[in-house]
Structure 1
Amino acid sequence: MIAVPALSVSALAVFFAAVAYGTLAGLLLPRAAYRLCVPAEETWRSDCPRGHRLTGAAGGWLGAARCGASPACGVLPAPGARRCAVLTALVCAVLAAGTGARPELAVWLALAPVGVLAALVDVRVQRLPDVLTATMAAVAVAGLGLVALGGGGRYPGALLAALALLAFYAVLFLVNPAGMGLGDVKLAPALGAALGWYGAWPVFAATMLAFTAGALYGLVLKARRPRADGAGTAAMIPFGPFMLAAAWLTVAVTAAGR
């Protein structure tokens, strides 16, 4: 008879608290996603497509994306609150299930909503805004630094991994700018720091997983929408979500193994 280890009350409490946190944080993302979903040369949105001011948009970024003028404007082209809540709660659940009650979980949960927001924007307009990638890098480096003060983890390794992954993606961008976006390069330090906290192997594993998943998605996309000249397929693939998903999954699996 195989004995199944029981989850402690504290582990269950942390898990459900993380899911609740992710749900509430996700509900705050639609307005920010709508405002950030613009081409690089355009300013962030502050009104609906018909020019009406968004509800609470005067200096506000969090909450639902609603037009403050009239329901006649219809639904704004923004991700729904339910979708944002489910995605963020799922990410937080995976991270909490793998990491448990370790102190670095606070850093992963702080990064999760920003990462989901970045993925939503990247899917819609194929760009990762600097405000999001810079925030994630700052949270990862500073947050893990605070956790390292209490012992545990590999903070020097996390910093080295952040720089190494940044350099790796920068080289790819310089070699083939059409196949790798600059936003992906700027996202790399945050993910490198998180993965490097557990060692060098998670960095390699997550990178390979992201490229494998991205390549498979590209093949499926090309098969469904073939082009006569075969060009332009790479430009249609937002790579940020693959980087984020691979990093989160690898962090959770690696932490669970320890």
Structure 2
Amino acid sequence: MHVYPIVAAAVWGTVSGLLLPRAAHRLAVPSGEPWAAACPLGHPLPPGARGWLGPASCPDCRTPGRRYGRGPLPAVGSALLCAGLAAATGPHPELVVWLALVPVWLTLALVDLRVFRLPDVLTLPAFAATAALLGAAALLPSHQGSWTRALLAAAAVGVLYFLLFLINPSGMGFGDVKLAPTVALPLGWYGWGTVVAGTFAAFALGAVVGLALLLTGRATRKSPLPFGPFMLLAGAATLLFR
């Protein structure tokens, strides 16, 4: 096992995880509203905190520098996921693509959990960038995947989610449809079996969590449940344990 790529990936995951809480907060607004420019208590963000990258904290709250993000959890989760991907992938060019996706996927999961939406400002550029980077990785001799298959998988899974959206618009958001090709790209890079496993795992996770919420009385059959986190978790887990 190559130790240095794993350590470097963990460092990248820690740094990117520390920088994503502000973006998650600013993007976590209902559809059609401008990006958040105040803390949860309504204090306007200071000029130095209006960018997209950095911790989510408010100097005007009762406790100076009060953080309203998720504390160290995003950084820890990002570090562990990046290190795991480095260990599973090895020193191959596609690892750079997976590491670049981690902070984007984590931000999307946090936003979807908070406001049940997957912003186009992340999903659409993520697809274009992932496809382009995998195309570049495919030109290098040490890659271990297929760019053509990745694109075909993105198209196939995108069509599947679109059909599910047409059949049951109340059960499948259009943001999920737009996210699906991005999740399918890395799965298709490795094979159709990986695509099937990752896609099925997303629906299985959603079903298990939904059933658990019903049985514990924390939700009803009409309660909304964000599906994006299940897609992202299943995709990441499939990459880790393929």
With structure 2 as the length reference, what TM-score do the two structures score?
0.92
From 15, 18, 23, the counterpart of 1:32: 23
Partner of 1:4: none
Q: Once superposed, what is the RMSD of the aligned Cα atoms?
A: 1.8
User: 2:31 is aligned with what amino acid?
Assistant: A
Q: Is the 8 A contact 1:172 1:180 kept in 2?
A: yes
2:109 is the counterpart of 1:119: yes
Is 1:204–2:192 an aligned residue pair? no
The one-letter code of the counterpart of 2:10 is V
What does residue 130 of structure 1 align with? Answer: 120
Paired amino acid for 2:174? L
Identity within the alignment, %: 49
Provide the residue aligned with 1:253 in structure 2: 241
Contact 1:133 1:186 in 2 (8 A): yes
Structure 2 vs 1, CA of residues 217 and 101 (structure 1 numbering), >3 Å: closer, same or farther? same
Query: Structure 2 matches for 1:141-180, cutoff 5 A?
Result: 141-151=131-141, 152=143, 153-180=145-172
Whether contact under 8 Å (1:137, 1:189) holds in the other structure is: yes
Identify unmatched segments of 5+ residues in structure 2.
none
Give the direction of change, closer, same or farther, for the CA distance of 1:249–1:50 in structure 2 (3 Å limit). Answer: closer
Counterpart-to-counterpart distance in 2, 1:78 and 1:45 = 13
Deviations 1:73-122 (A, max 9, x none): 77878432401101211221221121011110000000000000000111
- Provide TM-score, normalisation by structure 1: 0.87
> Which of 199, 211, 217 is the aligned partner of 1:219?
211
> Using the alignment, how far apart are the partners of 2:71 and 2:131 within structure 1?
29
- Displacement after TM superposition at 1:57 (Å): 3.4
For 2:97 and 2:15, locate their aligned partners in 1 and report how far apart those are by CA, in whole Å: 17
Q: Is the 8 A contact 1:48 1:76 kept in 2?
A: no
How far apart, CA to CA, are the structure 2 residues paired with 1:75 and 1:183? Answer: 34
2:82 is aligned to 92
Q: State the aligned residue count.
A: 239
Give the Cα–Cα distance (whole angstroms) in 2 for the partners of residues 186 and 194 of structure 1: 15
What secondary structure sits across from 1:28 in the alignment?
Answer: helix
What's the offset of the Cα at 1:71?
3.4
Q: Is the 8 A contact 1:214 1:239 kept in 2?
A: yes
- Distance of 1:71 and 1:207 partners within structure 2: 43
Show structure 1 runs of 5+ residues with no match.
1-6
Structure-2 separation of matches of 1:226 and 1:149: 50
Residue 51 (structure 1) shift: 3.9
**Cα deviations by residue, 1:170-189 (Å, 9 ceiling, x for unpaired):** 10011001111111111111
Aligned twin of 2:62 = 72
Deviation at 1:147, TM superposition (A): 0.3
One-letter code aligned to 2:237: L
- 1:50, CA displacement in angstroms? 4.5
- How far apart are 1:166 and its partner, in Å? 0.6
Task: Indicate the larger mover: 240-249 or 214-223.
Answer: 240-249
> Which of the two has higher C-alpha Rg?
1
1:20 match: secondary structure? helix
Moved over 3 A (4+): 73-78
- Give the Å deviation of 1:146: 0.4
Pair 1:239-2:230 in alignment: no
Q: Does 1:15 align with 2:6?
A: yes
Corresponding residue SS for 1:42? coil
- AA paired with 1:136? A
Distance across 1 between alignment mates of 2:69 and 2:19: 11
Q: Which residue identity lines up with residue 18 of structure 1 in the other structure?
A: A
Question: Match of 2:52?
Answer: 61
